[in-house]
Chains A and B, each alone.
Chain A
Amino acid sequence: MTFEQLVFYFLASVAVIAAGLVITVRNPVRAALFLILTFFTVAVIWLLLEAEFLAIVLVLVYVGAVMVLFLFVVMMLDIDTDQLREGFAEYLPIGATVAVIILLQLVIVFSFGPFDLEQMPAPAAAAVDYSNTHQLGLLLYTYYVYPFELAAVLLLLAMVAAIALSLRGRLSAKRQRPDAQVRVRKEDRLRIVKMNAEKQD
């Protein structure tokens, strides 16, 4: 086993274990942190594949921006984990059955060997002056320009959708609403409590 393989197997097992922990730990902040660990290890695996640019972007964008926002949201929302787990035991049998069946099917298909090492030979190492970033930019802005532009449209649409759904005037502004004030009844505001007089000691 070469050193490279050793590194790969180490990173791959860390990535798989961390990904598993993301969905099993109880604490949402820890889950987010494990997700960061997963991203990091995957980024290093990409480095092994000589995809430096993608590895750096994964760390910068996902770990640096997306996950930080994610952590903010997780900390700001008061997530009740018990409530989230409600019905877990109830749905576990059917969920587990489906998962096991799908897993078995995948194992059967993949054991026929479409992904054997002979089928997927390792790519030759790139030349010393080969620039992964340059190639990526070239492909993205020339060959894949149409899907690239469409992906940009998709991002714009996501922004419009998010704003359209969350912005609904300034509800936080404190304004008097005379119509609501007039309609208020005594029962809504006033509660009369009847109790016996107590002795002061």
Chain B
Amino acid sequence: MSNIFADIQLATPEIFVFSMACVILLLDKVTHERMPKASFLLTQLTLLVGLYLVTITVPEGGSIKAFNDMFVLDGMAVLSKQVILFLTFVVLIYSYSYITERKMYRGEYFVLILNAVLGMMVMTSASHFLTIYIGLELLSLSLYTLVAMNRDSDLATEAAMKYFVLGALASGLLLYGMSMIYGATGSLDIETIRSAIQGMESDDTMLILGLVFIIVGIGFKLGVVPFHMWIPDIYQGAPTSVVLFLGTAPKVAAFAFIMRLLVDGFQGLAENWSDMLTIIAVLSMATGNILAIIQTNLKRMLAYSTISHMGYFLLGILSANPNGYSASLFYVIVYSFTSLAAFGLIIMMSRAGFEAEEISDYKGLNKRHPWFAFLVALVMFSMAGIPPTVGFFAKLSVIQALIDVEMYWLAVVAILFAVIGAYYYLRIIKTVYFDKPERNEPITARFGMQFVLSANVFALVLIMPWIGVIMDAVSNAISAMG
């Protein structure tokens, strides 16, 4: 029995975030009439202090385990938590005016967001099937509720229903896989599983079937082909502020989730899962990029683009070596910030009663507001992976990882689909700059949000000189894993 106080100290950020969620839940009853802004400000404060707490609890070298090996704190956990907290902070800045205008501003909204953040933090530092699963459920349950929050919208209710049913199915498959692994190895602890697998034959059918179920579960949660059907409907139906959240921070958590399960746990089966992920990645890049071309709804188009991006993100992981993992982590961080900016722009263009989610709503944006048009162009360049934006380096690093392990054909396929993908991103830029405007209302957005959004978009380009620093941080985080 280890010292419980030392353990609690390591989990301070998680405990703090949860306690603040409880405080906000209670306090909102008192403040929601007199000081409606209090819940929002308190949530932002929580995220910032949480970020600070994560930063000061960095373990000195390697990884520390706590709570009887159920909790692990290592470089990857710290970096992922920092990114998740920061992303959520920016997400809330963008969504503030959106949720107040649509009467979705309630204390519960922030409580749910904080609980989702808690779930992601638990997932990133889980080293036991139980904690991984509970973290995942904390995140999913909050997201289902957030999607359904706008109850007067039929689309949102339908999206929430689909999300909930498929999410429950995915959790069931994941649990089934975990129970098979438990049957084969006799443990739920990830490190014990890893050493048990090393002592077994790598074609043990029981292990492989368990692995298949786990991959299917991961595939559903990540939204990759052929488990992607829910993504477009949820992206289109859910309120943009919720899509903004679920399309950014949970992707980083998903990376940590995959690292803990596949890389930490099933190291001995790397050959098997690498092949499975190859099929999924190729299908995702193909389906996502090709179906995105025919979309007329911008949110739906970005949903298909997410599917293809998740395909690229898997390329690094399936190369099954530390370089590949850090390429994937870099990719997912860059993708999160790019899609943060993209959905931020949709929110900026919308106002109560007008969602600005059709591509035709952006016609001739350059004549109405040249600055926003420029921002849209930069974001689309980064999504497509065109230099000098950071999206180019993200794609470059995963493809580099493929070439390192001599998977040349896959690298060629990836580049081919990236070229196809460029078509629909560039089409948006064409719509913005060369089409005749159909609307001429002024775009009203708070100055603070405009400023943060502009900073976000420019960061996608201006970060270039420091790209090496980020790459180093990412590969240090991976090499510091247990």
Chain A residues engaging chain B, CB cutoff 8 angstroms: 105-106, 108-109, 112, 114-115, 142-147, 150-151, 153-154, 156-158, 160-161, 163-165, 168
When chains A and B are docked, how far (Å) is the Cα of A190 from the Cα of B444?
A: 44
Q: Is B106 an interface residue (CB 8 A)?
A: yes
CB distance B209 to A109 under 8 Å? yes
Contacting A at CB under 8 A, from B190-206, are 204-206
Chain A contact residues, majority secondary structure: helix
Which residues of B are found within 8 Å of A108, using beta-carbon distances?
205
By beta carbon, the residue of chain B nearest A162 is B145
Contacts A109-B205, A146-B131 hold; do A164 and B70 have CB atoms under 8 A apart?
A: no
Contact of B68 among A143, A157, A165, A168 (CB under 8 A): A143
Contacting A at CB under 8 A, from B19-33, are 22, 25
By beta carbon, the residue of chain B nearest A168 is B151
Q: Is B464 an interface residue (CB 8 A)?
A: no
Contact of A157 among B7, B70, B142 (CB under 8 A): B142
Which residues of B are found within 8 Å of A153, using beta-carbon distances?
18, 115, 118, 138
CB distance B130 to A165 under 8 Å? no
When chains A and B are docked, how far (Å) is the Cα of A147 from the Cα of B141?
A: 17
Which residues of B are found within 8 Å of A158, using beta-carbon distances?
141
CB distance B122 to A150 under 8 Å? yes
B: contact size bracket = 35 or more
CB distance B131 to A105 under 8 Å? no
Chain B residues engaging chain A, CB cutoff 8 angstroms: 1, 4, 7, 11, 18, 22, 25, 66-68, 70-71, 106, 108-109, 111-112, 115, 118, 122, 128, 130-131, 134-135, 137-138, 141-142, 144-145, 148-149, 151, 183-184, 204-206, 209
Which residues of A are found within 8 Å of B138, using beta-carbon distances?
150, 153-154, 157
CB distance B141 to A115 under 8 Å? no
A-B pairs, top 6 by smallest CB distance, nearest first, are A146-B67, A164-B108, A161-B145, A114-B206, A147-B130, A150-B134
From residue B52, how far is it (CB to closest CB) to chain A in Å?
Answer: 22
When chains A and B are docked, how far (Å) is the Cα of A168 from the Cα of B108?
A: 12
Which residues of B are found within 8 Å of A114, using beta-carbon distances?
183-184, 204-206
Which residues of B are found within 8 Å of A105, using beta-carbon distances?
209
Contact of A164 among B106, B134, B135 (CB under 8 A): B106
A-B contact pairs, 12 of them (CB 8 A): A106-B209, A109-B205, A112-B205, A115-B183, A146-B7, A146-B131, A147-B70, A151-B134, A153-B18, A154-B141, A160-B115, A164-B108
When chains A and B are docked, how far (Å) is the Cα of A150 from the Cα of B115?
A: 11
Contact of B108 among A142, A143, A160 (CB under 8 A): A160
CB distance B130 to A144 under 8 Å? yes
When chains A and B are docked, how far (Å) is the Cα of A108 from the Cα of B212?
A: 15
When chains A and B are docked, how far (Å) is the Cα of A160 from the Cα of B113?
A: 12
Which residues of B are found within 8 Å of A151, using beta-carbon distances?
134
CB distance B206 to A165 under 8 Å? no
By beta carbon, the residue of chain B nearest A143 is B68
By beta carbon, the residue of chain A nearest B66 is A146
Contact of A154 among B111, B137, B148 (CB under 8 A): B137
Contacts A114-B184, A147-B134, A161-B144 hold; do A109 and B115 have CB atoms under 8 A apart?
A: no
When chains A and B are docked, how far (Å) is the Cα of A151 from the Cα of B145?
A: 18
Which residues of A are found within 8 Å of B137, using beta-carbon distances?
154
By beta carbon, the residue of chain B nearest A145 is B67
When chains A and B are docked, how far (Å) is the Cα of A108 from the Cα of B145?
A: 40
When chains A and B are docked, how far (Å) is the Cα of A109 from the Cα of B212?
A: 12
| Listed residue (A105, A143, A151, A160) with the most chain B CB atoms within 10 angstroms of its CB | A160
CB distance A164 to B128 under 8 Å? no
Known pairs A109-B206, A144-B68, A161-B141 / 6 extra A-B pairs, C-beta < 8 Å: A143-B68, A147-B70, A147-B130, A157-B138, A160-B111, A168-B151
Which residues of B are found within 8 Å of A161, using beta-carbon distances?
112, 141-142, 144-145
When chains A and B are docked, how far (Å) is the Cα of A158 from the Cα of B71?
A: 23
Contacts A154-B138, A165-B148 hold; do A112 and B206 have CB atoms under 8 A apart?
A: yes
When chains A and B are docked, how far (Å) is the Cα of A95 from the Cα of B69?
A: 41
| Listed residue (B18, B118, B134) with the most chain A CB atoms within 10 angstroms of its CB | B134
When chains A and B are docked, how far (Å) is the Cα of A122 from the Cα of B153?
A: 55
CB distance B151 to A165 under 8 Å? yes
Which residues of B are found within 8 Å of A164, using beta-carbon distances?
106, 108-109, 112, 145, 149
From residue B72, how far is it (CB to closest CB) to chain A in Å?
Answer: 11
CB distance B71 to A146 under 8 Å? yes
By beta carbon, the residue of chain B nearest A110 is B206
From residue B208, how far is it (CB to closest CB) to chain A in Å?
Answer: 8
By beta carbon, the residue of chain B nearest A167 is B108
When chains A and B are docked, how far (Å) is the Cα of A165 from the Cα of B151?
A: 8
Which residues of B are found within 8 Å of A154, using beta-carbon distances?
134, 137-138, 141
From residue B310, how far is it (CB to closest CB) to chain A in Å?
Answer: 24
By beta carbon, the residue of chain B nearest A119 is B183
Which residues of A are found within 8 Å of B209, using beta-carbon distances?
105-106, 109
